[in-house]
């Protein structure tokens, strides 16, 4: 067994993960989700939205905007991290650029009562994007905050509790 050198930095699990095949798979998943959402919203989603009653139509519009915003944040983060992995940016440069990417938890825009009445394809995209969002935020926190300083969990609220139940039921 080799000797431990106290001058060597420990290997960062997060950095290894961010440069692994798992990251590449997450990157592909994220980019595919962006493409799928764009195709749906520009095609079948438009038709489905036209057929919705007023309350659902408004919720559809809000949800599609939130979905688009969420996916653009995630894609920006994924592209930034890929640039680090490819040696185009240093981790320090990425940390500086990352300040421009507002990576944050974005819940569903529709109320828990209306969300189940939205088209299934939109609900599926929202749920997939929220799962990817959680994974990316977790990796981001490990990379940029470190395991010793986890980010604070969002404060609990009655709306958050309802949204969690909605996700559990439909996502």
Token readout for 46 is 């438009």
* pLDDT (mean) for 134-146: 84
**Count of structural domains within the chain:** 1
**pLDDT given at position 150:** 46
CATH number of domain containing 116: 1.10.8.930
Q: Kindly state whether residue 4 falls inside one of the protein's structural domains.
A: no
Range of the domain at 97: 13-170
Q: Kindly state whether residue 3 falls inside one of the protein's structural domains.
A: no
Q: What's the rounded Cα separation, in Å, for the pair 136 and 143?
A: 10
Q: What is the pTM of this model?
A: 0.76
Q: pLDDT per residue over 38-69, tens digit each?
A: 999 999 999 999 999 999 999 999 999 999 99
Q: pLDDT per residue over 102-122, tens digit each?
A: 788 888 888 899 999 999 999
Average pLDDT, rounded, for the chain: 82
Confidence band, pLDDT 50/70/90 cuts, at residue 4: low
Q: Kindly state whether residue 7 falls inside one of the protein's structural domains.
A: no
Q: Alpha carbon of 96 to those of 80, 92, 144: distances in Å? A: 11, 6, 11
Cβ-proximal residues to 79 (8 Å cutoff; 6+ apart), any chain? none
Burial tier of 47 (Cβ tally within 10 Å: 0-12, 13-18, 19+): exposed
Q: Kindly state whether residue 23 falls inside one of the protein's structural domains.
A: yes
Pick from 22-31, 55-64, 85-94, 108-117: least confident: 85-94
Q: Kindly state whether residue 121 falls inside one of the protein's structural domains.
A: yes
Q: pLDDT per residue over 144-157, tens digit each?
A: 776 554 444 455 55
């Amino acid at each position: 067994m080799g000797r431990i050198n106290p001058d060597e930095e420990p290997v960062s699990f997060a950095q290894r993960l961010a440069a692994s095949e798992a990251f590449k798979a997450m990157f592909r998943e994220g980019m595919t989700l962006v493409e799928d959402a764009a195709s749906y919203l520009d095609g079948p989603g438009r038709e489905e939205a036209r057929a919705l009653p007023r309350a659902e139509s408004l919720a559809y519009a809000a949800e599609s905007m939130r979905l688009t915003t969420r996916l653009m944040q995630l894609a920006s983060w994924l592209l930034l991290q890929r640039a680090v992995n490819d040696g185009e940016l240093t981790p320090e440069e990425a940390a500086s650029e990352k300040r421009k990417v507002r990576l944050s938890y974005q819940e569903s825009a529709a109320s828990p009562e209306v969300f189940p009445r939205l088209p299934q394809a939109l609900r599926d995209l929202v749920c997939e994007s929220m799962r990817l969002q959680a994974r990316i935020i977790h990796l981001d926190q490990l990379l940029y905050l470190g395991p010793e300083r986890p980010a604070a969990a969002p404060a609990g609220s009655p709306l958050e509790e309802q949204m969690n139940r909605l996700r559990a039921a439909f996502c």
